[in-house]
Structures are given as C-alpha cells and as structure tokens.
Amino acid sequence: MDDLTQELHTTHWRKSTLSGDDASNCVEIANLSNNHRAIRDSKNPTGPTLTLTPHQWTAFIATIKNGDCD
C-alpha cells in the first residue's frame, strides 16, 4: 500500500455540519499531510477518492461559490 492510500484509510474525514442526521447522502473531505484535500462520497467510503492540490482545492471551492456547479 502506498503512502497516499494508507493516509486515506487513516485520516479524519468530515461532513458539513449542515448535513444533519441524513449523513448517508453527503460529500466528505479530509485534510492530508501534504496540504492536499481528499473528497469522497459518504455512501461509499471505500470507493473512489478525489485528491486535490491546494491550488485545485481553491479553484474548486471558488467554482462552487460562484454557482457554476448548480
């Protein structure tokens, strides 16, 4: 198992506090040791994970805030 895979299995994942009790339909994120961010689907925690660099994370959040993903 490579270092990133190991970290993804042991890192602390979190959901938005706005998720409420329906935590099965959420996106989870994790801060990784190299300042990267990881994103996964809470319904499938062992499924695919998207890993973003700090620059990609900033662009991703800006895109969401601009409403470009609606």
pLDDT tens per residue, range 21-68: 666 678 899 999 889 999 998 888 889 999 999 999 999 999 989 998
Determine, yes or no, domain membership for 16.
no
Q: What is each CA distance from 7 to 2, 50, 64, in whole angstroms?
A: 9, 13, 26
Determine, yes or no, domain membership for 48.
yes
Determine, yes or no, domain membership for 40.
yes
Determine, yes or no, domain membership for 59.
yes
Does the structure show a pLDDT above 70 at 2?
Answer: yes
Determine, yes or no, domain membership for 50.
yes
* Total number of domains in the chain: 1
Report the alpha-carbon angle 8-4-20, nearest 5: 20
Determine, yes or no, domain membership for 57.
yes
Q: Which domain holds residue 69?
A: 25-70
